[in-house]
């Protein structure tokens, strides 16, 4: 396991055991506002793909390039077995 994988595993373990407010604080410490926005956008893209929304419609609704949605589509296809357990998110945070 490389250093990046180890770091991700450590982060996942922390997030699973931490209180939600502590997880939020950690993520805000590690990520910039732009990175948090990009993460939220990727989650929205996966939600749209999970419900069968056309890529162009997702692109227009989220005001992102079609290439961004296409990348999400590639991830969806590669990881569908896992992702379909979590997307679309039924209890989305507002």
Do 69 and 85 fall into the same domain?
yes
Residue 91, pLDDT score: 63
Domain that holds residue 7: 1-30
Do 48 and 60 fall into the same domain?
yes
Percent pLDDT > 70 in the chain is: 96
Do 3 and 48 fall into the same domain?
no
CA distance 87 to 8: 21
Residue 88, pLDDT score: 95
What does the pLDDT look like over 56-72, one tens digit per residue? 999 999 999 999 999 99
The H-or-E segment that residue 72 falls in is helix 66-83
CA distances from 76 to 17, 81, 91 (A): 27, 9, 20
What does the pLDDT look like over 19-58, one tens digit per residue? 999 999 999 999 999 999 999 999 999 999 999 999 999 9
């Amino acid at each position: 396991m490389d250093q990046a994988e180890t770091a991700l595993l450590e982060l996942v373990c922390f997030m699973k055991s931490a209180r939600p407010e502590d997880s939020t604080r950690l993520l805000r410490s590690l990520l910039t506002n732009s990175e948090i926005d990009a993460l939220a956008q990727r989650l929205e893209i996966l939600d749209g793909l999970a419900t069968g929304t056309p890529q162009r419609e997702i692109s227009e609704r989220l005001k992102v390039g079609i290439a961004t949605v296409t990348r999400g589509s590639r991830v969806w296809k590669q990881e569908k077995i896992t992702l379909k357990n979590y997307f679309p998110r039924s209890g989305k945070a507002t």
